[in-house]
Amino acid sequence: MLSLKKGRYITRLAETVEDVDAAQRLRHLSFHGTGGIDSDRFDPICSHILVEEVKTGRLVCCFRILPLTGGKEIERSYSAQYYELSGLQDFAGPMVEMGRFCIHPAVKDADILRVAWGAMTRYVDENNVEMLFGCSSFHGTDEQEYLDAFAMLKERHLAPKRWLPRVKAPQVFRFGQKLRRKPDAKKAMMRMPPLLRTYLLMGGWVSDHAVVDPHMNTLHVFTGLEINAIPPARKRLLRGVAG
């Protein structure tokens, strides 16, 4: 079950065409800053999760999930368009790709992210998921704005070699090879996207390169999180929200 009510917000599964349309409109506003519809060929095969204000019903956050039985299905994922993921084909346990995560740009409330992760935690526990993965996006395509963040990713958070994604996209920033700087930790965390920051706090890891995606106006890194590697204290916090 992905339904979860906490404080001012409730999460639920999109059930109608109108629900999915609302999510696609929020995605377009969040990624492009304008009205419109963000849709692709993966929407019909994904489940769409909505986070709404209890009092008003306003949609404030959304994301989609694609369950996979294991790494042998990794080529079905959105991420496989941009990353060569043959290393992950040997991952044996259930996996879920979490994608198109966005929060309404006019709403600033850290509880939204916590509630969204609480719903995802409940799903992970109920379905015995062993890995979460997806593309974590930096806004814009100029890597110069995020050099401290990329330097920190290189220094502390690169994927284990056995899972490391290889280059597939035509335009990438190879920060794992090319970046030569000591990260300023404060600047790095200020520029780190909130979703990626949460992944890292749970023990997540990233690719050694960022894909430049002009269509979405983002730089994104492949992000993986092995559920068994989440620190026990962090698991207790997440399950406290999910309970």
> Each residue of 3-13: pLDDT tens digit?
777 789 999 99
Residue 6 pLDDT: 78
Mean pLDDT of the chain: 94
Q: From CA 242, how far away is CA 230, in angstroms rounded?
A: 15
Residue 54 pLDDT: 94
Q: From CA 22, how far away is CA 159, in angstroms rounded?
A: 34
Is the pLDDT assigned to residue 129 strictly greater than 90?
yes
CA angle 54, 196, 72 (to 5 degrees): 100
The tokens of 173 are what?
């920033």
Residue 236 pLDDT: 83
Q: From CA 67, how far away is CA 77, in angstroms rounded?
A: 9
Distance of CA 120 to the CA centre of its chain: 11
Enter the DSSP assignment of 159.
Answer: P
Residue 64 one-letter amino acid: R
